Amino acid sequence: MYYGFDMGGSKIALGVYDPQRQLVWSKRIATPRDDYAQLLAALVSLTAEADALTGTGGSVGIGVPGLINPEDGTLFTANVPAARGRALAQDLSARLDREVRIDNDANCFALSEAWDEEFQHYPVVLGLILGTGVGGGLVVEGRPVSGRSGVTGEMGHMRLPLDALSVLGEGVPLPLCGCGKRGCMETLLSGRGFAWLFHHFYQQTLSAEAIAERYAQGDPQARAHTERFRALLAVCLGNLLTLIDPHLVVIGGGLSRFDAIYDGLAEQVQPHLLPVAKPPRFARARHGDAGGMRGAAFLHLK
């Protein structure tokens, strides 16, 4: 059996999956955010409950909102202060007497999608999250790629390509990113960036959801804005796809529910690729909020 923990700032969700990768049981509890001993105790207690339910000692994987230092296993996470600087996987492994694998939640998202029944035949899967920020993960042959410093997939902090200015105009200001820099793709491709761009061009403050509603109603500004955003997304994807050349790009996050961003995306990406390159398949994420649990559980599949 595979146990997957999705550990967030407010809740810990545990999903138990059978050998066919089907969910058989799940439970949520509040996250002990400020006490490391209580956090470990909560994870141990949930694991014991799962063991009692299944009659086995299942494998344990954890998805966390942050980065894991590949050298010593310590975490950098803003949302769970108790775990910051702690070697959570090693400490929990010692208490459970079994291997615990851990990865960031974006990699778990990508891994969950890569093991979807329809998607699992794709060798290289790029997961792209267009939500409050922009993140993602890379899965190759069913395993996540974390990289030298654990930051593979942090696509939101790549710089906007030069061609972005041909889409937006030379005079567009570049908002300050949370990382302290300007020109990060996250500032314009996130849900907040989508709304910010609409305000920049039309001097109206609307949420991404409200803009999508206006698009559905045929509003010309919302239509023009969405076409511009899709062109910007295609430009930014051009660099990523040239570097990674995935077979499949799975898009998650709030903007993934806006069908219009997929319309003609492959055709718009093509001019930004090498002449011999083919666009990948673009698909909406299938597993929503369950992706963190699924991906964490599936850290043990290979």
Q: Which residue is listed with tokens 């994987």?
A: 61
Half-sphere exposure (Cβ direction) of 67: Cα atoms closer than 13 Å = 15
- Give the DSSP H/E element, type plus range, for residue 11: strand 11-17
Query: Residues annotated as binding site for Zn(2+)?
Result: 157, 177, 179, 184
Domain residue ranges in the chain: 2-110+290-299, 119-285
- Nearest Cα to Cα of residue 32 among 58, 11, 53: 11
pLDDT tens track for 195-225 = 999 999 999 999 999 999 999 999 999 999 9
Going 164 to 203 to 258 to 185, the CA torsion angle's sign is: positive
Query: Residues annotated as binding site?
Result: 4-11, 133-140, 157, 177, 179, 184
pLDDT tens track for 93-134 = 999 999 999 999 999 999 999 999 999 999 999 999 999 899
Is the pLDDT score of 302 beyond 90? no
Is the pLDDT score of 51 beyond 90? yes
For the segment 66-93, the average pLDDT, to the nearest whole number, is: 94
Question: Which parts of 99-162 are beta strand (E)?
Answer: 100-104, 124-130, 134-140, 143-145
Q: What is the pLDDT of residue 106?
A: 93
Is the pLDDT score of 151 beyond 90? no
SS3 119: coil
pLDDT tens track for 231-254 = 999 999 999 999 999 999 999 999
- Nearest Cα to Cα of residue 158 among 262, 69, 235: 235
Strands 248-252 and 281-284: what pairing?
parallel
- Nearest Cα to Cα of residue 82 among 95, 65, 97: 65
What pTM does this model have?
0.93
- Nearest Cα to Cα of residue 290 among 32, 111, 143: 111
pLDDT tens track for 15-40 = 999 999 999 999 999 999 999 999 99
Query: Residues annotated as binding site for ATP?
Result: 4-11, 133-140
Across all residues in the chain, what is the average pLDDT?
A: 95
* Same fold for the pair 2-110+290-299 and 119-285: yes
CB atoms within 10 A of CB 40: 20
Which CATH number describes the domain made up of 2-110+290-299?
Answer: 3.30.420.40
pLDDT tens track for 290-299 = 999 999 999 9
pLDDT tens track for 160-180 = 999 998 999 888 999 999 889
Q: What is the pLDDT of residue 179?
A: 86
Exposure of 221 by Cβ count < 10 A (0-12 exposed, 13-18 middle, 19+ buried)?
middle
According to CATH, the topology of domain 119-285 is Nucleotidyltransferase; domain 5 (3.30.420)
C-alpha to C-alpha distance for 275 and 291, rounded to whole angstroms: 35
SS3 290: helix
Strands 11-17 and 2-7: what pairing?
antiparallel
